[in-house]
A and B are shown apart, each in its own frame.
Chain A
């Protein structure tokens, strides 16, 4: 369904060009759930935005392809792109509090998606009766959507403003917006990070149900390997704009290959009786504008070898559906 080949997105800055997504390759089948994991600033979000061609100015995609059902999105005209956004590929953002427009009623914001993609126009017929009919149809559909995503008493809440919603409800409303046109791919950019743990679980549940009932493919972006492990069929680990490891979830969790993935796993707290020492990865994410070594993880790596400093690196297929970018393999 989705195939990203050699995607490269850069941001020019005063310090030089920052490569936020560096030769990203990714394939995905319809209905699949992929987890994209990494620390903040590793290029996960930029990759998602690149798919939708929404990289904020002055960033731009310099090379690569994003094939969606065989069509290259990078080459689409702005108008064609607009027809795809929201309709074919929808996105859920990290912070529901700031993602809903504060000045419009929540119901109207959901309806807008239906409206602009003309979802209800087929049933509507011609003006003037059509317009009113369509409005009613759209409203009904919105309420149905709100019900589906678990917003209680949708009739009333249709007319409320975002600030009257709790964080979890806001995220549900955003999911409703994303679902409105029944997209085939849902990009969920840290959809649960800003929410309480119990709400997190509900939202993830909801996403899974959507995946099951509508067959929507989901890319879940998260910095929480635990969430990804629970939710996804396949995990993609990114570091400093590059994919460093990719593989089926169980495999990656049980047998992480890349030192970075290992580090990530070690730094996750777990609820167990036994006391286990948490081991954070030393150091910080390197300055993307100023990478010193070929392997971006070199100076934080516990398994670094002298050759890591200069050897050519690529994402190598190590069998079993697993790929890794490390000289060790």
Chain B
């Protein structure tokens, strides 16, 4: 990397280390942004993601209708270009006559959150346990690995049905059900990478200069396996939202008043034969978001992975 010059200016001064950190962060962020700007697909992904986030935040201002406002007299109305549709409801209405576009806009809030939180918890727990288990091995590794094996062998939907029946429906229960198994994948990945990385020279070197094990794990090894985790995590965000839909298919999703893409896709399945839009458009919104997240993720990997760079 060419940023060996970045730290030099501060090396001879004694500065507040946090300030230094912050300065480095902003400088690096700017640097990263500079590279990102020249990466068309990643930039596209980023723009779409920003659009999604902005529209989610600004939903009350953008959405033409209240997403919960029902109009039983105008149920299952098609989108404007189809026969019987009108510009009043650009993407049509759902089974209760709610404006589909508004629901999709609002749905982004919960769906993004479901995807991020469920994946976030999975990564957090999985990566933490995985790095500790992979680095230290020993009893911790044995126990957690066995437990992970157990969970892997346990069919997810059965578990989810059980949890949702036991705890009752609800947002936090859903997140719990989704991430309860999600972490295993990250655990396995990180543990495997850890086993490989810890034999490498730079770890030996860090150990030789007397860095503590935890420091080695989190500031030496973690950065090296980060991009692998990142790629899997981006994929998982979409997957989690889809799983939420599968739970809704079984009647166990998010509370129905909260619009969420997954449950919208599931809720429209009976009408799929006569009113495809109820199910399809939320699904497309989801697909586009996942696509963008992945474009960004891959772009970041291109930028940050030194192997792709020219000597």
Contact = CB atoms under 8 A, between A and B. Distances in A.
A14 B38 contact: yes
B311 A13 contact: no
A18 B310 contact: yes
A18 B39 CA distance: 18
A46 to B, nearest CB: 9
A40 B310 contact: no
B291 to A, nearest CB: 23
A41 interface: yes
A41 B311 CA distance: 6
A11 interface: yes
Contacts of B310: 11, 13, 18
B197 to A, nearest CB: 17
A23 to B, nearest CB: 20
A14 B303 CA distance: 11
A219 B22 CA distance: 50
A3 B101 CA distance: 68
B41 to A, nearest CB: 13
Highest count of chain B CB atoms <10 Å: which of A13, A14, A40, A41: A14
Interface string B25-69: 000000000010011000000000000000000000000000000
Highest count of chain A CB atoms <10 Å: which of B38, B39, B310: B310
A19 to B, nearest CB: 12
A154 to B, nearest CB: 31
B311 A40 contact: yes
Interface in B273-311: 310-311
A14 B39 CA distance: 8
A41 B35 CA distance: 22
A11 B310 CA distance: 9
Contacts of A11: 310
B8 to A, nearest CB: 13
A18 B310 CA distance: 10
A11 B309 CA distance: 11
A315 B39 CA distance: 38
Contacts of B35: 14
Interface of A: 11, 13-14, 18, 40-41
Pairs of residues from A and B, 8 with the lowest C-beta to C-beta distance, nearest first: A14-B38, A41-B311, A11-B310, A13-B310, A18-B310, A40-B311, A14-B35, A14-B39
6 contacts: A13-B310, A14-B35, A14-B38, A14-B39, A18-B310, A40-B311
